[in-house]
Structure formats: C-alpha cells, structure tokens
Amino acid sequence: MPRPPMNKPIVPLTYEQLDQWIESLQPALRAERFAAVVGILRGGAPLALMVSHTTGAPVAFLRYDRATREVRWDSALPMPEPGSTVLLCEDIAGRGVTLVDCIAFLSEHGLAVRTLTGAYDDLSRLQPDYSIDASGYFALFPWERQAYTDRYRADWSRNDAPEGALMADDHEYAVYAIDLDGVLLPDIPLSRYDEDLDAALDERDALLPFERIPGVDLQRARAIITGRPETDRARTQRWLERFGFGELELIMRVPGEYDDTPAGAAAHKAGAALRCGVTHFIESDPVQAIFIAQQAPLLRVIWWNAHTRTGTLIGASAWS
C-alpha cells in the first residue's frame, strides 16, 4: 500500500528483525490458540506467514479495496467457525480504516479478532494487541524499500486519482547507484599510488571500462558513488564522459567528512545512496559492501566481482 512521504526519522525494519521479534512472541501467540492467522494483502502477508510458521496456526488472507472499503476473504482455507479466535496481521496500524474495516468484517462473521502489526505510531487509529512502538518515527518495511525513490513519492503524491491508481508495480521503482573503481573500470593497486601518485592517476585515466554489468539497465542508474576524493572530480568526470557515463550524477568523498578507510568510504557511500533515493547499490569491495549493508539495512547491496562477473547480495544484520 502506498504511504505518505517520510517526514519523520526513519526506522528501517528488516525481515530478520521482524522474524526475531515474532519469534520472541511465540509463547504468547501459541497460548492464544488461534484458529487461523489472517494477513491483509499485501503488507500483512509476510507477517502472517511468519506467525504461522512460529505458531503452527494455518494462514489465510483478506483482500481490501481501499477505494470502496470492501473486504473479501481471499483464501482456499475456509473461514473458521463462529466463536473462533483469529489473529489479523497488517504491516502498519495507520491513520486509515483498513484495520478497522477488516476487524469489522471478521467480527461480523462471528470471529473473535486479535491484531498484530509490524508497527504503530502516534498517528495510528488503534493500537494493536501485538506491535512495535514506532511513535515519532516512520517505520519502513523491507517490502517498501521503493518508498525511498523520487518516482514512488511523486506517484503517491498525485491526488487527482483514487489512491493507488497511479502506482506502478514495485519492481518498476528500482533505481541503481554504482561504485566506480572495480565496477566500471579496473582497480589500481593501492601500492601504485604510494609509489608514484601522479603516475598511478595517469594510468587510471587511461584504463578502458569493463563490459557492462549483466542484468543491470543503466537507464535505471541514477548516480556513481565513489570513494575517490572530491579533488579528483575533474579528471574523473572527463573519464566518465569519454566512455558514455557522463549523464550519471557523480558523488565523491569529502575527505574532511569521511576518511579513506573501508569504514569511512562505506559510510560515505551508504549516506549518499540513501540521500539519492536508490533501491540498489553495486559495490566492488566486499568489506565495504558489508559496512554499507549494516548502515543502510533496506538497501539492496550487491558485491560485484568484476573478474568473475558475478554479484553477491549482501545482508549484514547484527548477530548477538
């Protein structure tokens, strides 16, 4: 479901965090002996499946039409018998009426309804029985990562049509940012810079680009985010223009803000990727890719190995 532009501090909630939270609720959820776990399509579906696996209760779904406020049972599983208790799942307890209408629908069929949402905040119309308190924040879910993009926000904000009528399919909002060295052209060994900086820079400027990354449409690329220092902008821009990359925004590291260590470069890249509003970032250094994934949990971070021409999706949830 489309949600309003993010004008509060963002709390990104990953699949791993939500799964761990639901696992922590297992004793309480199992004790309720739900006849079914019911997810509101689509945002409530992932949570309903997680709860179903955690409790063993069967899973079913409701389909809700926000324009007409019509609720339909949308499952091969028959509706539980009147008097049964079900758990209704949605991603966010918002200020709208989705939860209210779905609760009413199930109640009208004689079911006792408990509720679980990924989060609620200070604008929520009701407080669910199970939920994460995100008061004062904008809770962002992994299936909403496209909400970072300018196009998604622009489509959402158009109010000359019924809500959602102008929204494209989720994958249509994919936007890429890419690293430079090791992705578009070969890396120069660091020792070369230490030996003779000017010669190394001249060598780098003469390099030819790699072949294009398979499966990545550069029409969907918005920016090149590099750890090269801002002082290299002019020569870097010349290389990009010479090989047909000049239209991409070039974002370079400011040494006074970020150092050239892997952690410093990754912090620069993660922050820039979030500011750019991209959904995917392609990074050539595996250590930096891990740091970037830690700092931008909902960003799709791909470690690209140019020599084997393979990409690896990186996840870096904290382990304790």
Q: Do domains 10-143 and 176-314 have the same CATH topology?
A: yes
The domain made up of 10-143 has a fold known as Rossmann fold (3.40.50)
- 73 in helix, strand or coil? strand
Taking only the tens place, the pLDDT of each residue in 225-257 is 999 999 999 999 999 999 999 999 999 999 999
110: phi > 0 → left, psi -120 to 50 → alpha, else beta; which?
A: left
Which secondary structure element, helix H or strand E, spans residue 222, and what is its range? strand 221-229
Q: Where do the structural domains in the chain lie, given as residue ranges?
A: 10-143, 176-314
First to last CA, the chain: 33
pLDDT on residue 159: 47
Taking only the tens place, the pLDDT of each residue in 290-299 is 999 999 999 9
Question: What b-and-e string marks burial along 111-125, b requiring 16 or more CB atoms within 10 Å of the CB?
Answer: bebbbbbbbbbeebe
The CATH code of domain 176-314 reads 3.40.50
pLDDT on residue 6: 62
